[in-house]
């Protein structure tokens, strides 16, 4: 009878260790989920090297860095935006069409998808000089916001203030899912 009691005494200890391992596993997975949910920000642009002349890197009151942008136009020509016909989605074609029409303004705007950190962009214009803008609703919303505000006579600085304050989030992307009216 003694061997049976010894086996029974070992059983709770084994079960306790198994429960501890399962709990540790859940704790580990939970920690990973929490870490993945935290915002990922690269090193500040200042830590990546000096900003280019005219690039504004000031911090807003909420302590979120304002993404890279320029406060004035360069002496050299701006890069072209990609041809809208490279894309099949109407909303993307519209975004690139309008970006081409307001590229001087886009050059002076930050992009809150933080592609300045992830892609090395210097302003919202860089999103549409490449394919990045075609895959990013933030870029497209800020592009449409810039276009809409320019039609209201707003300056680059006024549009930038609106983007920084988050006004671009109110843009109705649905209205850009149909082809733009012919001029």
Note down the domain range covering 99.
67-176
Is residue 48 a part of any domain in this protein? no
- How far apart (Å, rounded) are the C-alpha atoms in residues 141 and 110? 12
> To which H or E segment does residue 58 belong?
none
82 and 144 both lie in a single domain: yes
81 and 137 both lie in a single domain: yes
Is residue 50 a part of any domain in this protein? no
93 and 169 both lie in a single domain: yes
Closest residue by Cα to residue 66 from 96, 109, 33, 16: 109
Helices (H) and strands (E) in the chain, counts: 8, 0
Domain tally for the chain? 2
Q: What is the pLDDT of residue 6?
A: 54
103 and 144 both lie in a single domain: yes
Closest residue by Cα to residue 68 from 102, 117, 26: 117
15 and 94 both lie in a single domain: no
pTM (predicted TM-score): 0.67
Q: What is the pLDDT of residue 31?
A: 54
Residues 6 or more apart whose CB falls under 8 angstroms from that of 115 comprise 67, 121, 126, 127, 132, 136, 139
Which regions in the chain score pLDDT beneath 70?
A: 1-14, 18-19, 22-63
- How far apart (Å, rounded) are the C-alpha atoms in residues 118 and 120? 6
State the distance between the two ends of the chain, measured CA to CA, in whole angstroms.
96
Is residue 124 a part of any domain in this protein? yes
74 and 134 both lie in a single domain: yes
- Give the count of alpha carbons within 13 A of 123, CB side only: 29
- How far apart (Å, rounded) are the C-alpha atoms in residues 176 and 128? 16
């Amino acid at each position: 009878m003694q061997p049976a009691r010894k086996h029974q005494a070992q059983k709770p200890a084994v079960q306790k260790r198994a429960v501890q391992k399962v709990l540790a596993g859940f704790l580990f997975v939970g920690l990973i989920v929490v870490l993945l949910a935290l915002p990922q920000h690269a090193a500040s642009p200042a830590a990546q090297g000096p900003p280019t002349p005219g690039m504004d890197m000031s911090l807003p009151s909420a302590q979120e860095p304002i993404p890279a942008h320029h406060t004035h136009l360069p002496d050299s020509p701006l890069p072209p935006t990609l041809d809208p016909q490279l894309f099949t989605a109407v909303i993307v074609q519209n975004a690139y069409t309008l970006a081409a029409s307001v590229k001087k303004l886009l050059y002076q705007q930050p992009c809150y998808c933080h592609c300045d950190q992830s892609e090395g962009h210097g302003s919202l214009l860089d999103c549409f000089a490449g394919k990045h803008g075609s895959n990013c609703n933030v870029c497209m919303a800020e592009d449409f916001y810039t276009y809409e505000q320019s039609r209201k006579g707003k300056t680059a600085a006024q549009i930038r203030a609106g983007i920084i304050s988050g006004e671009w989030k109110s843009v109705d992307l649905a209205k850009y899912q149909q082809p733009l009216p012919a001029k």
